[in-house]
Structure 1
Amino acid sequence: MTTATSSPAPGPTRIVQIDLDDPLPTLSADERYRAAMVIGWRHGVPCGSVTVDLGQDPAVVRAQLEALRADTQSVETPEAVPDAALPSISVVVPTMFERPDDLVVLLKAFTALEYPRVEFLLVDNRRSIPHPDPLPALVATEPRLRIVRAERPGISSARNAGLAAATGDVVAFTDDDVRVEPDWLRAIGSRYVREPELDAVTGLVLPAELERPAQIYFERYYGGFYSERIFAPLSVQARPGQSGLLRNSVMTVWNTAGESVREFSVYGAGAFATGANMTYRRSALERLGGFDLALGTGTPARGGEDLATVISLLWNGGRIGYEPSSVVHHRHRRELDELLSQMHGNGIGFTAMLTSLLIHDRRHVAALAAGVPSAFFRMRRQNAEKLRAQEPAAHEPAALDPHFPRELMTREMRAYPRGPLAYLRSRRKMKEWAPAGAEPSAGLEAAVGV
């Protein structure tokens, strides 16, 4: 149960997309919206955002939009890559068909995608198939789409089944509760062509709506609503010169000019990758063995499979490109109970993921020991910032925010100790499904034929 307060929950926030090269719109409050998240675009590329209070003086709102325009003058527009040079892409979407309306939105967005060589693989991970089954009729309108069946439980099983069935040079993963932009795949394919050394390309995730308090809370806690969203293309790889037990444990981030802009522990790779918008060269993901079947939703581990794969790629010397012009819009959980359950699962999934990494490569013991103290203090600072109110577009926190449910953070943190045992239970459970002689957390090989 969340902590009761006498203050009202945050109201709906309008999402406004504007072209910063056009005349700025006049924004004002109406009966429903008193706040807006404004996302600025230039030349078809998102380049910044600002949250504004629509109830304040219109001149102040316009000044905030002018500031957004001024801060995003230098947006790069690379030369277009010819269609013939683009890699073929297989798009994999795991589904339990629990959100049919969202899936319809996604499939409709697929029909508008502008990409020359693409196939769509909808991986059916339902425990049982109803009769009649509505899924085949739903996908019949898209000739490039086919259904792949994954009977083994869990999103890792579904992703591995999609990977095994994929024929594209690149495999793109997204979720069944997102909407993709028409240039989503072109931005990805073009980045692989421009930087052939990349093993993976990830993209930007924006909210599809901010209508309910739970969605606004999630945006603040995870989505960048009150922290910095990344709108610049970047590359990530292990810092050169590392050796011994800590080899490839610290990452360097480079901008498009080849300048180092920051460093971070490999375990913080989630800032640049999420399962809703991640792609891999098929060969690179196959070398990793796909996704750990004992991680992810649908297993006792509850999550962590996407981050474990990204970390493993970087840990083994791979290179990732972050491409903000590759955009998907995610519909966050609408109900607070759903969000609290998600936070609980995220907590279990994070430490389950760390347990998986430790079991598969004992060098992670030294790297985690070196990074835990600083990570602990950084987490405390970030949590304190989330618990404080902040005026839209301001950078300094104010008083304690009476709206924000503290349980969103405590639910996740209380779940951390449960992750290791959950992962071990998941491995035992996966063994029940594994073919004879297969390891319980084996990835791609165990998924073939499910």
Structure 2
Amino acid sequence: MTMSHVVFPTVTVIICAYTAERWVWLLDVIDSLRLQTWAPNEVFVVVDHNEELFEQLSRTVDDVTVVRNTGPRGLSGARNTGVGLAGSDVVAFLDDDAEAAPDWLERLITLYDDPEVLAVGGRVEPVWEAGRPGYFAEELDWIVGCSHRGLPRVATEVRNVIGANMSFRLDVIRTVGGFNLTLGRRGSIPLGCEETEICIRSKMGAPGCRIVYEPAALVRHHVPASRGTVRYMLSRSWSEGISKAQVSHIVGHKRALGPERRYVRRILPRAIFAGLRDWSRGDPAGLGRAAAVVAVVAFTSAGYFRGRHLAHFPGRPLDPPVLAGVSQWREVQ
């Protein structure tokens, strides 16, 4: 069957925005949707409780629909607002700093010709504002919301997709009740895993169905210099541990941590050995890469155990003790 005879589903694209600091990137994201080989049926930009940004964007663009987040402040509430307005077969999500390749949408929706596919996500490639730091191994790119080394190189069934580049059948996401409002980024603490949790719930409700990662569906994700620091790396790792503990509490330990166990056992040891090997061959940054991997595992694990403890004491502070003085992070939503 040729591409011209494939019947594509209709698609709504949702972009969530919360700050005018990303204004140029946000306009670039919208531009990238105008260049798609398969145009979306509708595009919503959901502004998360920022009236100034809402007014500015409403005055500037006229070929997308700009709406206010009608739910609680945060990424999950904003996404649910868009889902509630969508009128297409599939709903796709882009971050406000993640620019889509021209064939991004076509690559995603092609896989929906299989009725057992519930969701499709794609590759997220980092674009480093100040260049990749020497100590930042590609195996750790999930810290900045991107695909990490070790993910599949061809279309493969996975547990969950990546938040900056994902799509769902609209009836699936509505049937499971949307994104969990107790998860996702809010305020200054970069919590997450709401996409992991909704993927797990989607499969629990549809045994035998699949979620697919298609690396050919590419978006490029801007990474500011502030996210390449060791401080952000460890802060994000701690928060990831907290978030995974929350998901584990909701859907069960086994469902929440299966891929993470394989990642820690198979991918990270190779990253450590590669860093040490590079250092022994004269690359001074190799030792830093190996040390960073060890530190990330330690902080993520500590955050996870902290999160398990907090499940019994709701409302307790989430800040890592060593980083409690950090007052600001520039989060990826």
Q: Given the two structures, how large is their TM-score scaled by the length of structure 1? A: 0.58
CA-CA distance at 1:410 after TM superposition: 2.8
Residue 334 of structure 1 is aligned with which of 211, 222, 225? 225
Contact 2:58 2:66 in 1 (8 A): no
Which residue identity does 1:330 align to in structure 2?
A: H
Matched, 1:88 2:10: yes
Corresponding residue number in structure 1 for 2:101? 181
Q: Deviations over 1:241-261 (max 9, x none)?
A: xxxxxxxxxxxxxxxxxxxxx
Q: Deviations over 1:19-38 (max 9, x none)?
A: xxxxxxxxxxxxxxxxxxxx
Residue 273 of structure 2 is aligned with which of 346, 363, 388? 388
Number of equivalent positions: 299
Q: Deviations over 1:240-282 (max 9, x none)?
A: xxxxxxxxxxxxxxxxxxxxxxxxxxxxx24xx1111111110
Corresponding residue number in structure 2 for 1:323? 214
Corresponding residue number in structure 2 for 1:164? 84
Q: Which has the higher helix share?
A: 2
CA-CA distance at 1:198 after TM superposition: 1.4
Which residue identity does 2:67 align to in structure 1?
A: I
Unaligned runs of at least 5 residues, structure 1: 1-77, 237-268, 358-363, 429-450
Corresponding residue number in structure 2 for 1:304? 193
Corresponding residue number in structure 1 for 2:46? 123
Which residue identity does 2:222 align to in structure 1?
A: R
Identical aligned residues as a percent: 23
Contact 2:54 2:68 in 1 (8 A): no
Residue 178 of structure 2 is aligned with which of 285, 290, 308? 290
Corresponding residue number in structure 1 for 2:307? 419
CA-CA distance at 1:345 after TM superposition: 2.0
Corresponding residue number in structure 2 for 1:106? 29
Unaligned runs of at least 5 residues, structure 2: 317-333
Which residue identity does 1:212 align to in structure 2?
A: G
Corresponding residue number in structure 2 for 1:220? 139
Which deviates more, 336-345 or 285-294?
Answer: 336-345
Question: Aligned pair in 2 of structure 1 residues 279, 376: CA closer, same or farther (>3 Å)?
Answer: closer
Corresponding residue number in structure 2 for 1:257? none
Mark the structure with the bigger radius of gyration: 1
Matched, 1:205 2:124: yes
How far apart, CA to CA, are the structure 2 residues paired with 1:169 and 1:425? 41
How far apart, CA to CA, are the structure 1 residues paired with 2:8 and 2:138? 33
Matched, 1:196 2:120: no
State the superposition RMSD in angstroms: 3.6
Q: Given the two structures, how large is their TM-score scaled by the length of structure 2? A: 0.76
Corresponding residue number in structure 2 for 1:403? 288
CA-CA distance at 1:136 after TM superposition: 2.0
